[in-house]
Amino acid sequence: MNDDVVIVAGSRTPITGRSRAQAELRADQLGATVVRELVSAFGVSPSVVILGNCTGPGGNIGRLAALGAGCGEAVVGWGVDAQCGSGLLAIQQGLEHVQRTGSAVIAGGAESPSTAPQRIDVTTGRTITQARFVPEGFPDPDMTEAADELARIRTISRTRQDHFAARSHRLARAAQSSVQTVQTASISVDDGPRDLTPQTLARFAPLFGENSDHTVTPGNTARIADGAAAVLMLPARDAAKLTTPTPCRVLASQLTGASTDVPGIAAVSAVRAVLATAGRNLDDVAAIEIVEAYAAQALACLDELGLTGPQHSAAVDPRVNAHGGALALGHPWGASGAVAVVQLLDRLADTPPGTLGLAACAIGGGMGAALLLERMDPRESGQPRDPGEPGALP
């Protein structure tokens, strides 16, 4: 079997704030929406639906979404929980399933904090606001406190964070007219992007106190949001039979482990690993998507990868999140990695064949995930390529 796997297309719902426009839709209903859209657009029934989710009410979200989308009872499914890397990990599992079975897969993520149940620790009677990411004996920081500490350790100033957040909003607003989302409820556009400036963001008070050691604010933190995103994946030989504007070959994917006490930096190891697997470097990549849970966390990763300006200035490489990111759109935890992949597909649509794109995210508990894609010629056949040809799988 040809090992090349092609992402035919992606789909996502609007990203909306918790308790706002999509507040009445469960995670599986949001997931069913994007699955249905992909099936309808290409007439391909998947053999399996794999969806990431980390705060839902339990149950098999992949199977629920497959049935809810009308895929039929023969289509199986399952859910993946890897915190905010769930959607990207689901796509990685989908890639492996296509390689193993040669069948079509829809994979992504869905999250509905609006409908997530309240959990209680029966030993204390207290509400559980964050699941444990690691067992006893390992550092398990609150994600916001960890971002604040990361900013302090890496000397990422409040000014840089606010400039980065403003950049995300500016780029997301500029891209809104061209970004296609599937209408749910009564909304068809993201409700997060705002006309914000660094000066406006400077008015927000730090979340953990007023002294200069605390720089993370509501303005440079991604808001909690509802949303779903997924992609359709096929063996290259089958994808070649479809009319699709944005076929992308998966060159490599990686899931890496890193320190649990500074989880926000873990995307770096995943990026380096995925590039090494494909025999590429960052200079070869034209489009980069990294999940912006916090400005401090994203900037720490970009600094480490050499994607910021001299002396880690406010400047950011223009290849990074050119349509904005989670700081503007919002952070539907289990879906955010898949949202990044769909954003990447949108950006690669107007690029020539051979263009590379990279999606990555840091994961609570000290993991990182990354995916490297290559834009294909829509007319390209599904025949295996010579291993020495540029873009061939290593």
Tell me the per-residue pLDDT of 251-282, one tens digit each, with 9 for 90 and over. Answer: 999 999 998 888 899 999 999 999 999 999 99
How far is 6 from 19, CA to CA, in rounded Å?
Answer: 36
Q: Which of 312, 267, 265, 313 is nearest to 288 (CA)?
A: 267
Please give the mean pLDDT across all residues of the chain: 92
Per-residue confidence (pLDDT) for residue 212, from 0 to 100: 67
How far is 337 from 169, CA to CA, in rounded Å?
Answer: 19
Q: Is the pLDDT of residue 385 over 60?
A: no
The answer to whether residues 291 and 84 touch, using CB atoms and an 8 Å cutoff, is yes
pTM higher than 0.85 for the full model?
Answer: yes
Question: Residues 116-159: pLDDT tens digits?
Answer: 998 898 999 898 877 888 888 888 788 888 899 999 999 999 99
Mean pLDDT of 20-39: 97
Domains and CATH numbers, the chain: 5-114+137-375 (3.40.47.10)
The answer to whether residues 347 and 33 touch, using CB atoms and an 8 Å cutoff, is no
Q: Which amino acids are annotated catalytic?
A: 84, 331
DSSP string across 233-287: EEEHHHHTTS--S--EEEEEEEEEE--SSSGGGTHHHHHHHHHHHHT--GGGEEE
Q: Is the pLDDT of residue 336 over 80?
A: yes
Per-residue confidence (pLDDT) for residue 383, from 0 to 100: 43
At 369 the three-state DSSP class reads strand
Q: Which amino acid is at 96?
A: E
Q: pLDDT exceeding 90 applies to what percent of the chain? A: 77
Q: Which residues contact 228 (CB under 8 A, 6 or more apart)?
A: 12, 13, 27, 30, 31, 33, 34, 51, 108, 109, 110, 111, 332, 335, 338
Per-residue confidence (pLDDT) for residue 386, from 0 to 100: 43
Q: Which of 289, 264, 296, 327 is nearest to 15 (CA)?
A: 327
Question: Residues 47-64: pLDDT tens digits?
Answer: 999 999 998 888 999 999
Q: What is the band of 8 on the pLDDT scale with cuts at 50, 70, 90? A: very high
